[in-house]
């Protein structure tokens, strides 16, 4: 038998053992820190055998989390693909969660007032899940950049405080940010209305 074939056979055998461990919920499986380092691993979510580089590494401080790879790093028990899907689901289910984290970061970076939480954003979220300015439905993911929901500071210098926030699309926010005086929009409207 060629080495390639024997390797495949060995991996299939490993998968069988791993799946048995998962279904029996044996304690040795959850006690990841006692595991031997391995190059291949069954993803707990999609059940595929994947090379260790298909798994994201754990933060250095979590020494007992996940499982050890041959480079002595800890890896997540879900593969990168499954992890991305989980993150996406979380973003889609609670989009205000992401907006709050981003706002908090920007407030800190730009030294702006911030006294809101994710509930405050949830409470002002448009009920039809559409941008109130452009009427486009909010979507997640980098491919939908223009229709991503963003948190607008109604009066920018006031920061992220209650009563000064609105959820609008990335595109609407971008248009607004080009104009410092909101009356410009009124003039724009008046000018083109007559045309």
Query: Which residues of the chain form contacts with Zn ion (CB under 5 A)?
Result: 43, 45-46, 79, 82
Closer to Zn ion by CB, 42 or 172: give it.
42
CB closer to Zn ion, 22 vs 161: 22
User: Least distance (Å) from Zn ion to the CB of residue 64?
Assistant: 22
Please state the φ and ψ torsions of residue 111, each to the nearest 5 degrees.
55, 50
46 vs 184, beta carbon nearer Zn ion: 46
Element (H, E) at 89: helix 80-93
Report the nearest approach of Zn ion to the CB of residue 103 (Å): 32
CB closer to Zn ion, 87 vs 123: 87
Rounded to a whole number of angstroms, the minimum distance from the CB of residue 88 to Zn ion is 14
Burial zone of 138 (CB within 10 Å; 0-12 exposed, 13-18 middle, 19+ buried):
buried
Rg over CA atoms, the chain: 25
Cα(156)–Cα(147) distance, integer angstroms? 21
d(CA 19, CA 10): 14
Least distance in angstroms from the C-beta of 50 to Zn ion: 7
H/E segment holding residue 152: strand 149-153
**3-state class (DSSP) for residue 85:** helix
Closest CB to Zn ion among 46 and 154? 46
Tell the smallest beta-carbon distance from residue 71 to Zn ion (Å): 20
């Amino acid at each position: 038998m060629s080495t390639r074939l024997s390797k495949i056979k060995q991996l299939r055998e490993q998968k069988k053992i791993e799946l048995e461990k998962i279904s029996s919920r044996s304690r040795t499986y959850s006690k990841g820190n006692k595991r031997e380092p391995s190059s291949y691993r069954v993803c707990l979510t999609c059940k595929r055998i994947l090379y260790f580089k298909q798994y994201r590494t754990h933060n250095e401080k979590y020494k007992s989390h996940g499982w050890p790879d041959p480079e002595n790093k800890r890896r997540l028990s879900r593969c990168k693909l499954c992890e991305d899907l989980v993150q996406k689901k979380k973003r889609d289910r609670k989009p205000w969660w992401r907006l709050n984290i981003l706002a908090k970061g920007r407030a800190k970076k730009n030294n702006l007032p911030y006294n809101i939480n994710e509930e405050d954003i949830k409470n002002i979220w448009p009920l039809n899940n559409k941008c109130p300015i452009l009427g486009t439905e909010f979507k997640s993911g980098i491919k939908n950049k223009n229709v991503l929901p963003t948190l607008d500071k109604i009066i920018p210098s006031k920061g992220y405080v209650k009563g000064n926030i609105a959820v609008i699309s990335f595109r609407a926010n971008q248009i607004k940010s080009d104009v410092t005086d909101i009356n410009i929009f009124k003039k724009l409207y008046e000018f083109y209305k007559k045309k």
